[in-house]
């Protein structure tokens, strides 16, 4: 099919472009980009795209899949459908499935499952119209059963095609951490860590501060994160292995990362989309979908994280999509498992509260959701120019919709925005 998108707002972080263009797409490739395209075939589908935004496909650094092991939370198909509906063309899954992705056989099994879902989707239209399923990348576990005790066969996992290595949970044994940094260096794969001192975090569920006192919830001090980051940075300085720091959530962490980057340490960092939008004040609702780990920051943390993303200190925004069943989340706040869904919500909400308020430019937000996450994974995203593959997201910032079961592709509904009316919706993705 050949499509002509007329007068669409093209946001291209690769070319640093934010302008109106006509874009011609055919056979999975961009054929032409110009201020006006008039020479087209008679069978070209013409779409008036005034008011719509076209950008590179969004890239998720890390999220959680229910399958295998917890298919009642999320299947691989529903996860990929939700990602496509949210504008994502590449999705990276953490290894905390059941069984854990700590061996080459499971890597092959999940990739084969994704190929099967693609073939099935070609027979029955289960995803949004004309939206193919995103590419699936898998993080390989650093330690066996992500238990933090014994390294996996990292070289075998690398040969099996994992996108990189991460347990997706804190690795507190510093001697083991040092050994991992030494071992992965020649493998040429990203390695991602979530720095958190679980002894300092203890049983906390909210960031330490005035709101924690008012709400009567056990607090987590910022030092639970910052001391772990400081220790990791010392090891990176000594060994030189590039490292990605996941789930940055405090203002002091942003300062530590900025100083480390200024000193030339080979690090990248990410925060999650919800940590950019909400702070501890939101927890007064005791909605268990606001129980996150790390917890939402204090207002000063949110300000620092936003500034960090704009400045490039925080390279990327991750979705960290974490599905749970209704029964798992209907508990007391402190007892409910931490995490929330996000694929179908992140772009509309970030655009509404960061771009429309003019705190972020459209280019800054799109870069943090597309090209920068890809770079953290050691990948590239093509510019929106002729002869490049059409890996694109078409977004309508003004379309309104209600967050409810029938409007979501994900199986789980653990989000604080459930039942609310949102502005901004993905129209189509091309993979």
Residue 60 near residue 83, CB atoms below 8 Å: yes
Q: Rounded CA gap, 410 and 405, in Å? A: 9
From the list 27, 320, 387, 396, the catalytic residue is 320
Return the sign of the alpha-carbon dihedral for residues 92, 95, 96, 101. positive
Is residue 396 annotated as a catalytic residue, yes or no? no
- H/E stretch holding 364 reads helix 362-369
Q: How far apart are the first and last CA of the chain?
A: 14
Closest CA to 135 of 163, 157, 109: 163
Sheet holding 267-272, edge to edge: 192-193, 243-245, 267-272, 316-318
Q: How many residues does the chain have?
A: 431
String of DSSP letters for 96-118: -SSS-S-SHHHHHHHHHHHHHHH
Contact 321, 272 (CB under 8 A): no
Task: Map residue 156 onto helix, strand or coil.
Answer: helix
Cα–Cα distance list, 58 to 54, 55, 187, 367 (Å): 11, 8, 26, 9
Q: Catalytic site residues?
A: 320
């Amino acid at each position: 099919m050949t499509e002509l998108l007329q007068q669409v707002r093209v946001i291209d972080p690769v070319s640093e472009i934010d302008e109106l263009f006509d874009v011609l797409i055919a056979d999975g490739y961009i054929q032409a980009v110009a201020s006006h395209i008039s020479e087209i075939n008679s069978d070209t589908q013409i779409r008036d795209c005034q008011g719509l935004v076209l950008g590179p496909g969004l890239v998720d650094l890390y999220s959680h899949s229910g399958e295998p092991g917890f298919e009642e939370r999320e299947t691989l198909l529903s996860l990929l459908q939700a990602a496509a509906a949210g504008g994502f063309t590449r999705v990276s899954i953490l290894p905390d499935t059941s069984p854990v992705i700590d061996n080459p056989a499971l890597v092959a099994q999940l990739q084969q499952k994704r190929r099967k879902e693609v073939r099935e989707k070609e027979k029955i239209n289960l995803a949004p119209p004309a939206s193919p399923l995103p590419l699936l990348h898998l993080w390989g576990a650093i330690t066996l059963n992500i238990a933090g005790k014994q390294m996996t066969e990292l070289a075998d996992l690398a040969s099996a095609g994992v996108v990189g290595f991460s347990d997706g949970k804190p690795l507190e044994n510093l001697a083991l951490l040092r050994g991992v940094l030494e071992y992965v260096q020649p493998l040429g794969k990203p390695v991602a860590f979530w720095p958190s001192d679980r002894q300092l975090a203890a049983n906390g569920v909210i960031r330490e501060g005035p709101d924690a006192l008012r709400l009567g919830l056990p607090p987590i001090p910022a030092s639970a994160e910052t001391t772990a980051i400081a220790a990791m940075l010392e090891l990176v300085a000594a060994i030189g292995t590039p490292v990605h720091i996941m789930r940055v959530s405090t203002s002091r962490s942003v300062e530590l990362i900025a100083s480390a980057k200024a000193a030339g340490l080979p690090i990248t960092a990410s925060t999650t989309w919800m940590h950019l939008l909400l702070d501890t004040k939101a927890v007064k609702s005791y909605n268990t979908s606001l129980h996150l780990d790390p917890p939402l920051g204090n207002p000063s943390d949110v300000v620092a994280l936003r500034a960090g993303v704009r400045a490039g200190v925080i390279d990327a925004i991750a979705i960290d999509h974490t599905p749970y069943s209704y029964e798992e989340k209907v508990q007391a706040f402190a007892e409910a498992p931490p995490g929330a869904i996000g694929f179908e919500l992140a772009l509309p909400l970030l655009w509404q509260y960061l771009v429309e308020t003019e705190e972020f430019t459209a280019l800054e937000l799109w870069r943090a959701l597309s090209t920068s996450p890809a770079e953290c994974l050691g990948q590239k995203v093509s510019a929106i120019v002729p002869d490049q593959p059409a890996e694109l997201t078409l977004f309508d910032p003004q379309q309104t919709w209600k967050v409810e079961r029938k409007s979501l592709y994900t199986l789980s509904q653990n989000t604080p925005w459930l039942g609310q009316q949102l502005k901004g919706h993905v129209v189509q993705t091309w993979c």
